[in-house]
Structure 1
């Protein structure tokens, strides 16, 4: 290693013998670049052997520069204060980075800890500002934790305000990117963060990290602890080991949130803020709460979100000017609401057990204006007057669950007078001519659930915004009114119920088409103004091309099962593509094309087997990359990624694409994507084709803790195609054997006593 010292323009040499493997050349025979290293005495020029470790480099520098202090007291940083480590040393050497010989992380941690204790007013804020940057480095964080740094930060957060509080919260947020060291955060600290976030007076730069801290605590539940890929699906995860940070979760955070009544309202209100980062953090917190909500508080939390019109706030966000930066999170919210809808649909209505169910039914009956009657045998006739087949409401709502009950209640609530008028009008007709109003409402719920694929609790497959879906109750009211109108205009009788359902199904497909681009009033007009004859003619044409078999309940249930299997297959396939790796073009964001231009045009990225890091290498040309990670010296921590933005980058103007279609450097490529953190983009890439783009954008989304959507139409179509192919194969098996598929199965009466047992099936073959 050779070192040259220059002071005020002079250049005296202090030399050592050449290092092993060539101080003047690399293993491949090329010259080792010369780096400059700034010290307290001036700047030295040095050639650093890339085969050395950082500690050896620092040790030789200290010897050459005759430093009196031990080499362990020093570290190297570049001009941007990035710590030089064994992982990035080669990159620093190749790029001829200007380095600085500075205090080691241990010394920095000790000094900062001392300043936090003293709290000297003139330097205290600057100390916290430095801390929020250094604490991202694992070496510094470890030393800071040894000095009881978490307790110091908590003490500062408890008593601070303004920018000082913002710096302290950001430092805590950055520390919590580690998966250790903060397991001692207690309920008092969580409540303090809740109070900070709930205060309308809190500054934006305070709210951002406070929101991120709560989000991280929600996600740190035992079910999310690192482990096998599917471990998080366990409903009863093992207790976390001592010291694990995975000991919090939804219940712990929500207990503190409930103490501050205005918190959720404040978070929802901030979805409309002009500050994109704050809106991003707010929707991410809501998504994490939705994704991790437990049975204990699920109904309370969901009811609160509904009262605050959270869906409406997100719909407004869909059309705002900041939506490009929030697309991924909005789609996550959409996916979470699909899971909420599915759970409601599969939750039984139990008025004898659940007070909320009983109250909703009382509201519906009271507003109907009908009177309960008694049959000749004394049996009550009540709900049958509203169109149900029996008085057993748990059975009547069996297929649509609480979702059906909520939809009927909202239908009544939207216009109580109209509901009462319709209910009384139907009872005035002969029994065979009455429209079964409640039964029609439930059937509309089924049709909408089928249309929006509310078939499984997994991630939603729509890659586009669905504002009509988020207005599920309003669409249900429109479609139910349409059902009533078709019933009346067609002069239907009870035997025609299935025929009217088919008409409504046909109109639902037409009215809800292209909901990501069509305005609400056009959809509403389709339901309100369309005439019976036009709907009937279109539906007859559809029947010529459609098999009635597909609408039967057993077949719809089979499709649900195959849908779950298909989407899990696609999920595993996408992640497998990330594990294999791929080449991408380095791109520049269209919004800031001069902010960071790539020095090398190509990048190969590969996911590690632990599913935690994206390893990569930048290169002037593509080359065969070996298996493993040896050829990929750089890496990206996936836990830092807050958003996968798409279609927002362009090819740099000074590169030539050899396998991508050319376009203007200022035009965003539809094959581009960016990995965004809270601070900005850490990777801007252009995929070679649409398949690779879909594999990676969807795969990366599926790896995120709060993922809930896919980004590409290709993936959505792939899942749908697999489902339909599987369904047709199953139906071919049945039709080939001439098996008759019933429209539904009726369970027989229960046993009169318990004197029975289930025998094992016996196959004589």
Structure 2
């Protein structure tokens, strides 16, 4: 390598066999610019050593490093690229020396240098050598003290530095509950600046996800033991305790979903998703109840209509998946009025809203809940199939419908066999809506579009239940001579048909059209359409036992597809390194230097290991050939259709300036894109985009129609196979089965049948 001032004088021509080494401009510590021809075969350490010798600097070469003019550290991996592109370089302090200096400046708390030191810290803390030295020099303690003592932009720099530090899987295990409470206080204040709240929100999210359970391998069920120095020692419970100490935090976070700053809305949405995904059993109901009280669903519905970036789309779909978990859990949670005061209060509200009075029947038994349409006075059994979800829906129906007492008294004025059982109708609508939105399991959602009507479940339920009662009247069921059970089954079929029509394309239809479909349609039109539908499908599929079988098969099918996707990640695959869509044509033709990347996930499902290469080569099993890695917990978004192939590698039949439909980017909420790839085919694209979504700690949705279609297809095939024998023998399947009440004690035995 040679250095010297740039010259325009003539020189002797180079020998033909000698390769011309590009010339880079290097800024010295004294502020001078020198021209240097750097041999790309040397290591960075050798280059720095020669620069120090040629510039006759007094300090040892170990005290120096090279950075680009964009402050990117020059390493052995990227040096050739920078030399070829003739990047402007700077000879600066080494990361270790810079880390010691910044830690010392933070300890001095000199306001004059503090802001500049924090600004440098937030940029360099991601570098491994810098981070090691900063942590060993006690820098974390000094940074925490700075966060306690500063405000405004200085606090924003300090929090951003802490946020970047917490991307490491070591070094911040000393942060205690007092620090978490300080972050909660910062977030709770409506006066906090946006650039302060963004990193504070990300820090709190990281604490939630640093759960000891996340450190456990999925293949073992042994008790989790937190190792000394492990940062996975926090989790939902610790964070939630600090949230309870500071009133108004959730309300403030939810209000920021409507922020004009899209990044702030994104961080707030991600924090809510993490809290929902990691909520512990003993705090789950309390936390969810508080979110519902603050109308979180309405805030997200408004966000659906106003979002502007792809990141928010993914977060909204994650939220939908979390709400499916909540809805399913409520549906399988039994109503226990004697054990749960909230259940008793809801039942009391429903009864008082009906304006009825208890009576006794001909046998002297209390006649109360049967008046509302239950089969028995045991309301726990009445809500057996729909659980707390059914209770909440019936309560909302009684509260939102001012004619509820009139509806009840109108049915009671008719003979018992001709009444519409309102409570049973409400529960059946819950089942039909659960079937429509595939609330079969607490797993992942297969919806790839926004579902604002699903988020408004109880409101749609009230409309559909009102429609059920109206169809009962208009169909003649209330005055006919047939048994009410047959009438009920017939109306259920009508309501199922209308739900499909009214809730179609819900991501684009306004609420007014949904209301019109339920409130203004005539019985005859609904019946004619339903009869045509019956000609195209088997009535057998509407039977309750068959619907229950379909739910079971759906769970199995989804888990099968999920495991298949994860196996693809564990096996690994080659991808093309791409360029984010929208960069300049100059950058597009220049990047990346190595066109191919092989990626493979580790068995613990925590890291995505990879290697970049100029050519594809046989990759051995394991991770030895994959030196680099991406923390899956750092991936906030698996965005699709985001990047293009470099011009010289474009093989997709079009201009490389167009985003490839097989492209995807792994985005971080604050560090931009972690990876930009193009899959070799549509199947590999679906495997990886959905597989990565399925293993992310706070995710729960799929991105491709292919995955959703596989789940549905496997469910339908399995159902048809199960029904072949029954339908072939024309065996009559009943519409419902009564299991009877459960034993009241343990004094029973199972009979043996020969």
3-state secondary structure, aligned to 2:597: strand
- Report what 1:519 is aligned to: 510
Identify the residue that residue 17 of structure 1 maps to in structure 2: none
Once the two structures are superposed, the pairs formed by residues 673-712 of structure 1 within 5 Å of their partners are 673-677=664-668, 678-687=670-679, 689-712=681-704
Residues 179-194 of structure 1: matches in 2 within 5 Å?
179-194=169-184
Cα deviation digits, residues 79-98 of structure 1 (max 9, x gap): 22222334444544554544
State the distance in 2 between where 1:128 and 1:348 align.
53
Aligned to 1:198: 188
Take 1:568 and 1:633, find their aligned partners in 2: how far apart are those partners? 31
User: Would the alpha carbon gap of residues 518 and 603 (structure 1) be closer, same or farther in structure 2, given more than 3 Å must change?
Assistant: farther
Determine the C-alpha separation between the residues in 1 that align with 2:626 and 2:81.
11
Aligned-residue offset at 1:547: 2.2
Q: Following TM superposition, by how much is the alpha carbon of 1:600 offset from its aligned partner in structure 2, in angstroms?
A: 4.2
**Residues 491-506 of structure 1: pairs in structure 2 closer than 5 A:** 491-493=476-478, 494-495=484-485, 496-506=487-497
Root-mean-square deviation over aligned CA pairs: 3.1
Alpha-carbon separation, structure 1, partners of 2:129 and 2:626: 22
- Give per-residue Cα distances to partners, 1:100-141, cap 9 Å, x unaligned: 332222211111111111121221111111111111112111
Distance of 1:268 and 1:535 partners within structure 2: 41
Answer yes or no: is 1:463 the counterpart of 2:448.
yes
Q: Using a 3 Å threshold, how does the CA distance of structure 1 residues 754 and 452 change in structure 2: closer, same or farther?
A: closer
Q: Is the contact between residue 23 and residue 35 of structure 2 (CA under 8 Å) also seen in structure 1?
A: no
2:241 aligned with 1:249: no
SS at 1:597's partner residue?
helix
What's the counterpart of residue 354 of structure 1? 340
Contact 2:209–2:236 (CA under 8 A) maintained in structure 1: yes
User: What is the aligned partner in structure 1 of residue 135 from structure 2?
Assistant: 145
Q: Is the 8 A contact 1:166 1:206 kept in 2?
A: yes
How far apart, CA to CA, are the structure 2 residues paired with 1:709 and 1:433?
Answer: 45
| CA offset digits 1:229-257 (Å, max 9, x no partner) | 566xx6x8513222211111111111111
Number of paired residues?
Answer: 733
| Equivalent in 625, 635, 645 of residue 641 of structure 1 | 635
Using a 3 Å threshold, how does the CA distance of structure 1 residues 444 and 596 change in structure 2: closer, same or farther? farther
The corresponding residue for 2:467 is 482
What displacement does 1:181 show?
1.3
Output aligned runs, 1:652-663, within 5 Å: 657-658=650-651, 660-662=652-654
Report the more deviating stretch, 161-170 or 61-70. Answer: 61-70
Q: 1:593 to 1:90 in 2, by over 3 A?
A: closer
Is 1:725 paired with 2:714?
no
1:533 equivalent among 509, 524, 536: 524
Residue in structure 2 matched with residue 113 of structure 1 by the alignment: 103
Contact residue 576 and residue 645 of structure 2 kept, 8 A: no
CA contact (8 A) 1:614 1:638 kept: no
Give the Cα separation in 1 of the matches to 2:584 and 2:375.
65
What is the rounded CA distance, in whole Å, between the counterparts of 2:753 and 2:232 in structure 1? 44
Give yes or no for the alignment of 1:215 onto 2:205: yes
* Contact 2:3-2:35 within 8 A present in 1 as well: yes
Partner Cα distance (1:760, 1:72) in 2:
83
Flag the 1:57–1:759 CA change in 2: closer, same or farther, 3 A.
Answer: farther
Structure 1 residue 551 displacement after superposition: 2.5
Distance 1:749 1:484, change over 3 A: closer
* TM-score w.r.t. length of structure 2: 0.90
Q: Deviations over 1:192-245 (max 9, x none)?
A: 1111001010000000001001111111111212x53566xx6x8513222211
Q: Is the 1:212–1:285 Cα contact (8 Å) retained in structure 2?
A: yes
Structure 1 segment 623-638 matched on structure 2, within 5 A: 623-628=615-620, 636-638=630-632
Which of these residues, 259, 279, 283, is aligned with residue 269 of structure 2? 283
1:744 CA displacement: 4.1
* SS of residue matched to 2:702: coil
- After TM superposition, the structure 1 stretch with the greater mean CA deviation from structure 2, 495-504 or 610-619, is 610-619
Residue aligning to 1:554: 545
Inter-CA distance 432–711: structure 2 relative to 1 (3 Å threshold): same
In the alignment, is the contact (CA less than 8 A) between 1:589 and 1:684 conserved in 2?
Answer: no
Match of 1:100 in 2: 90
Does the Cα contact within 8 Å between 2:609 and 2:627 map onto a contact in 1? no
Task: Report if aligned partners of 1:37, 1:46 keep a CA contact under 8 Å in 2.
Answer: no
Q: Note if contact 2:578-2:644 (Cα within 8 Å) is conserved in structure 1.
A: no
State the Cα deviation string for residues 614-668 of structure 1 (Å, max 9, x = none).
Answer: 535375xxx433315788776655443322233455567x56743x242694x65
Map of 2:116 onto structure 1: 126
Task: Return the alpha-carbon distance in structure 1 between the equivalents of residues 525 and 660 of structure 2.
Answer: 42
How far the C-alpha of 1:583 sits from its partner, in A, is 3.1
Contact 2:236 2:275 in 1 (8 A): yes
Q: Which consecutive residues of structure 1, in runs of 5 or more, have no partner in the other structure?
A: 12-23
Instruction: Give the aligned partner of residue 403 of structure 2.
Output: 418
Cα deviation for residue 67 of structure 1 reads 4.8
Deviates more, 1:158-167 or 1:693-702: 693-702
Q: Deviations along 1:389-430, whole A, 9 cap, x unmatched?
A: 011111111111100011111111112x31111011111111
Q: Secondary structure at the match of 1:461?
A: coil
Residue 577 (structure 1) shift: 3.7
Q: Distance in 1 between matches of 2:219 and 2:470?
A: 48
Kindly report which structure 2 residues correspond to 1:312-331, keeping only aligned pairs within 5 A, or say none: 312-331=298-317
The answer on 1:336 being equivalent to 2:336 is no
Aligned residue for 1:509?
Answer: 500
- C-alpha contact 2:170 2:230 (8 A) present in aligned 1: yes
SS at match of 1:399: coil
Please give the secondary structure, in 2, of the residue aligned with 1:444: helix
Pair 1:181–1:605, CA change in 2 (3 A): same
Superposed displacement of residue 44, structure 1: 5.3
Residue pair 1:35, 1:93 contacting (<8 A) in 2 also: yes
- Report deviation, 1:337: 0.6
What's the CA shift for 1:38? 4.0
CA distance in 2, matches of 1:344, 1:603: 49
Alignment-derived partner of residue 558 in structure 2 = 567
Q: 1:291-325 CA distances to partner (integer Å, 9 max, x unpaired)? A: 01111111111111111111111111111152544
Distance 2:638 2:281 in 1: 30
1:587-623 alpha-carbon deviations (Å, 9 max, x no partner): 4434x6569535147843333332513535375xxx4
Structure 2 partner of 1:14: none
Paired position in structure 2 for 1:157: 147
Shift of residue 277 of structure 1?
Answer: 0.4
Work out the CA distance in 1 between the residues paired with 2:585 and 2:141.
42
1:574-585 aligned within 5 A: 574-578=565-569, 579-584=571-576
> Judging changes above 3 Å, is the alpha-carbon distance between structure 1 residues 96 and 213 closer, same or farther for their aligned structure 2 residues?
same
Which position in structure 2 is the counterpart of 1:228? 217
Q: CA deviation at 1:155?
A: 0.9
Q: Distance in 2 between matches of 1:504 and 1:97?
A: 68
- Which residue of the partner structure matches residue 18 of structure 1? none
- In structure 2, stretches of 5+ residues that fail to align are 10-15, 479-483
Q: Secondary structure at the match of 1:178?
A: coil
Task: Identify the match of residue 615 of structure 1 among 581, 590, 610.
Answer: 610
Matched, 1:292 2:278: yes
Paired with 1:757 and 1:242, the residues of 2 have a C-alpha distance of 51
Equivalent residue runs for 1:722-761 within 5 Å: 722-732=714-724, 735=727, 741-747=733-739, 754=746
The CA distance in 2 between the partners of 1:371 and 1:543, in whole Å, is 42
2: distance between equivalents of 1:178 and 1:89?
24
TM-score (norm. length: structure 1): 0.89
Q: 1:40 maps to which residue?
A: 29
